[in-house]
Amino acid sequence: MTQSPMARAATQFEAAFGAAPSIQVQAPGRVNLIGEHTDYNDGLVLPCAINFGTAIVARRRDDRTVRVIAADYDDAADTYSLDAPIARLEAPMWANYVRGVIDDMVRRGLPVCGMDMVIAGDVPQGAGLSSSASLSVAVCTLFATLPGFGHLTPIDLALAAQRAENDFVGCKCGNMDQISSAAGVAGHALMIDCRSLDVTPVPIPSNVAIMIFNSQVTRGLVDSEYNTRRLQCEAAARHFGVPALRDVDLAMLEARGAELDPVVLRRARHIVTDSARVADAAVALAAGDLARMGELMAASHASMRDDFEITVPAVDELVAIVKAAIGLQGGVRMTGGGFGGCVVALVPHALVDAARAAVAQHYRAPNGEQATVYVCSAAAGAGACP
C-alpha cells in the first residue's frame, strides 16, 4: 500500500535527521470549478480544496540553520542560514517556494527560527492543481505554529504565500490558489471575492463527484504566457480608468470595446464574463442544478479557448469527450492557468465510470499517453496535524 505524503515525510525525516519530527502540517491543492484568471483582476472565483496536498514534518533547531529535504525529488536538499540574505536559486524551483515564504516572514520581523523539515506531496506537478500554492501555504502553516507568531488567519497565511510567489519566485499569480488551500471547507466550494477577500462556502451536492483529468500536456506558469495575460488585463483596466477589470461590466465593454486593441478586448471580455459566471454558478451549485452548471462551465471553457486563448487542442478534445459522456447531467471545463494541465468535471456518482471509460477509450495526449483520472472530494484547508 502506498504511503501517504505525511507518512512518507515522517519516514524520511527520521532517516535523515535521526529523530522523530515534532511538528506536522498539511495544505491541500485546489481545483477551480469556474472563474479563470479572474483572481488577479479582483473578480470572483469558485474553487475548492481537494484531498491531495502537501505534508511537511519538522523539528525546531537551536541555531539559525534551515535544512529542507524534498522527499518527492530524490531527497534533494537545501540548506541555508537565516542570518544571511536568502537568495533565489536558478534550480531547484521547489526550493524557491520554501525560501520565498521564509524570506517574507524574516522581512516582516516575525520570529522565524532554524528548522529541519521534510516535504512530501501528492498534488500532480504542472497540472494546474496548485502544487506550488499548496507548498507555499504549508510552509506558512508550519512557521505559524511557532510561539510569537500570534494568531494568523487563513487569509493571512494565504497572502504571505502569495507574496512569496509574486515577489520571490516571480510568478505574478492572484490569491485564489493560496486562499483555497488555506481556507478550504470540507464538502464545499468557496466563492472568493478576490478584492474584499470575503469567502463564502458553497455546498457541493453529496451525489456529485469532482473528477479531474490530467491531459498529460505539461506547462509551467512562470515560463508561460501567464504574465503576458496579466499585463493585457492591466492595460484594459487602465484604458477604462478603473483599478481592475472587476470594475468593468459587459455593457461598458460593448460600448467602448472598439477603442481597445482587438487582442486586449478579447482578454477583457473573458474576465468580465467569467467573473459574472461565477456568481451564477454559486447559485446553481447550491441548488444542485447540474444542468445549469454544465451550461456555465461550457461557456467558461469556450471563453478561455476563444477570448483568453489559454487552452490547447488536446485539452479541448478532452473536454468534448467528457461532455459527451455526461451530457446535461454535469459540467466540464479546463481548469488552471492554461496551456495544458487538467480538466475538471462535476459528475453524478452514477456517471463516474462512464466518464472514466470514455476518456480511456477516446483520449490520447500528443505524446500518446492516456489521461490520468482523479476522483476527488472537497477538503478542509491547511492546518497542523496531531
CATH code where residue 217 lies = 3.30.70.890
Whether 219 and 308 map to the same domain: the answer is yes
Q: Do 170 and 258 share a domain, yes or no?
A: no
CATH of the domain at 152: 3.30.230.10
Please determine, for residue 324, whether its predicted confidence score (pLDDT) is greater than 90: yes
82 and 52 assigned to the same domain: yes
In the chain the first and final C-alpha atoms are separated, in Å, by 22
142 plus 25 within the same structural domain: yes
Tell me which residue has cell 490558489.
Answer: 177
pLDDT for 211 equals 97
Query: Helix, strand, or coil here: 382?
Result: coil
pTM of the model: 0.92
Share of the chain above pLDDT 70, in %: 97
Q: What is the pLDDT of residues 273-296, one digit of tens each?
A: 999 999 999 999 999 999 999 999
Grid coordinates belonging to 340: 495544458
Please indicate whether residue 177 is annotated as part of the active site: yes
Q: What is the structure's pLDDT at 224?
A: 62
d(CA 193, CA 45): 7
Q: What are phi and psi of 165, to 5 degrees?
A: -70, -40
Are residues 56 and 136 part of one domain?
Answer: yes
- Domain, as residue range, for 346: 205-376
Helix ranges restricted to H, 241-351: 250-256, 262-286, 290-306, 313-326
pLDDT of residue 125: 73
pLDDT tens digits, one per residue of 136-173? 999 999 999 998 888 899 999 999 999 999 999 988 78
Residues 11, 111 within the same domain? yes
233 and 364, same domain (yes or no): yes
Write out pLDDT tens, residues 210-246.
999 999 998 755 456 878 899 999 999 999 999 999 9
Q: Of the residues 177, 193, 274, 307, which is catalytic?
A: 177
Helix, coil or strand: residue 47: strand
Which residue, 320, 335, 351, is CA-closest to 33?
Answer: 335
* Whether residues 108 and 209 fall in one domain: no
For the chain, the domain total comes to 2
In the block, cell 497542523 appears at 384
